[in-house]
Amino acid sequence: MIKKRFNPITDKSSEIIAFLMASPDMPSDEALRFKLRLSIEEAVENVVRYAYEGGIGWLEVGTNLDHDSLILTVELRDAGVPFNPLEVPDPDVTLPAEDRKIGGLGIYLCKKMMDTLNYKYEEGNNVLTMTKRVGS
């Protein structure tokens, strides 16, 4: 797994996203890259904005490509407030935007764009793992 820890993460969203998107594990297919980037942006922004009171903290990110199955794994690990994004109810996207509750759309988009999202809280860390098949 190609990993990097960012500390502190305040004002580093674009740097973190750029690191992940520059990984040699990333596919060259533009449609796949769009889905991956959107999901990564949403997940990273959630950590940067909400994980740490006062915004000071670390985020470790990484990618891994299983060359046999062509499954790309993106992992985010932080020591912020425990938060399972998979417990957030999906927004009612059939409602007009002005009638929807605020929040949850980014996580919903991650669920739709990625093949799997998994969350665990271990050793005082939030660990979000997203996977996407990047080949056939």
Residue spans of the domains in the chain: they are 2-133
Query: Each residue of 20-31: pLDDT tens digit?
Result: 999 999 999 999
Q: Are strands 2-6 and 125-133 parallel, antiparallel or unpaired?
A: unpaired
Q: How confident is the model at residue 136 (pLDDT cuts 50, 70, 90)?
A: confident
**pTM beyond 0.75:** yes
3-state SS string over 112-131? HHCCEEEEEEECCEEEEEEE
The reported pLDDT for the residue numbered 104 is: 63
Query: Each residue of 47-95: pLDDT tens digit?
Result: 998 999 877 899 999 999 999 999 999 999 999 999 999 998 777 677 6
Is residue 34 predicted with pLDDT exceeding 90?
yes
User: How far apart, in whole angstroms, are the C-alpha atoms of residue 5 and residue 60?
Assistant: 4
User: How far apart, in whole angstroms, are the C-alpha atoms of residue 67 and residue 32?
Assistant: 16
CATH number at 2-133: 3.30.565.10
